[in-house]
Structure 1
Amino acid sequence: MDKKLVGGVFSNADNAEKAIRDLQDIGFTKNDISVFAKDDSQVDKIEKDTRTDVDSGDDSKGSKAGKGTGIGALSGGVLGGIVGLIAEVGLLAIPGIGPIAAAGPLATTLAGLGTGAVGGGIVGALVGAGMPEEEAKEYEKFLKAGKIIVMVEVTPDQQDQVYSTFRTHDTENAAMYR
């Protein structure tokens, strides 16, 4: 069965985390869920809570390499409790947005594309993942505004469950891609 990409936009990490927990409760795994966020105010809190440093590419900070990603990664992260739920989180420098925290299979793909591809921005990465360009541009706007983006790979029969889960946790946008 072909998988599709369902995206949700959250205003805070708590709602995103609750949505991810509910998704996992109904059978989704860290291999199905990707998260992107830009909220500089969360970095200090999460570093304190997880006792880790966010690797910004500065050698004076911790730098545990992510699995094959070539980016700084950590067991804590900008996304709070979400990190323990889905994957290591890395920071990517995205033109026009700045550093974003990214986790999950789409994040790993983006990081694996290298600096040149990342230089094309988040729009290029999302379009490459099968999202229509206009909708990818909307997600870029959400990231710039400090929102948290949760993307889930689903089969057609799982789509409504994900939409319902996102709505339960106050998503600002739930759309189908790929």
Structure 2
Amino acid sequence: MPKFTIGGAKDMPKVLGLFNDQEAAKSAISSIKDLGISEDKISLVAKNGEDQDIEAGAEMGAEGQNLVDGTTTGGAIGGVAGVLASAGLLAIPGLGPVLAAGPIAAGLTGAAAGGVTGGLVDYGIDQQEGERYAGEVEGGNILVAVEDTEQEKINDIAAKLKDAGSYDVATH
């Protein structure tokens, strides 16, 4: 029986991709959804461009932000968030507002003290890789992660991430 955690199944195959462009990340998520992957298997983590005071676990909806139509002001990444209905802003100690969606978001909510690294470890990523991905998010890049039980689908997802412009794609 698989071991489940707050952030999803630790032993379920996953593919992670990093993007430095919102449109590329949005395109990747759309392509993955076109493969028949449900939103509850797609995660997104990105640092919000705004310096805002947001309570941990708060839904995205601060002034100037609208998940429904994907619009934001001041450089936040609402356009990407609009692709995933579950996206919300979380306050991560030491990092500030982070946009998160999917199984990783649940882990981030429960692991606020551990930050993005702790959420990724809960998701099934080893500590060293979790720290690396957390550093990428802190640097302003967008992390898209997808889990599925079928290795063939994981390979297709990895190809979609690469095709959309991910500069770093890895399976775990």
Quickly name the TM-score band, shorter chain normalised: 0.7 to 0.9
The equivalent of 2:98 in structure 1 is: 100
Select the residue among 103, 106, 127 that pairs with 2:121.
127
Which whole-Å CA distance do the structure 1 matches of 2:91 and 2:116 have between them?
10
Gaps of 5+ in 1: 45-53, 58-68
Amino acid at match of 1:83: A
1:88 is displaced (CA, Å) by 3.1
Moved over 6 A (4+): none
1:175 is displaced (CA, Å) by 1.0
Percent identical: 34
Residue 160, structure 1, aligned to residue 155, structure 2? yes
1:171 is displaced (CA, Å) by 0.6
RMSD: 2.4
Q: Kindly indicate whether the alpha-carbon contact (under 8 Å) linking 1:166 and 1:174 is maintained by their aligned counterparts in 2.
A: yes
Structure 2 matches for 1:39-58, cutoff 5 A? 39-40=48-49, 56-57=54-55
So what's the TM-score if we normalise by structure 2? Answer: 0.77
So what's the TM-score if we normalise by structure 1? Answer: 0.75
Select the residue among 55, 67, 71 that pairs with 2:58.
71
Which whole-Å CA distance do the structure 2 matches of 1:103 and 1:16 have between them?
13
- Give secondary structure in 2 for the equivalent of 1:134: helix
Gaps of 5+ in 2: 3-10, 71-75
Structure 2 matches for 1:1-178, cutoff 5 A? 3-40=12-49, 56-57=54-55, 70-74=57-61, 76=67, 78-111=76-109, 113=110, 117-154=111-148, 155-177=150-172
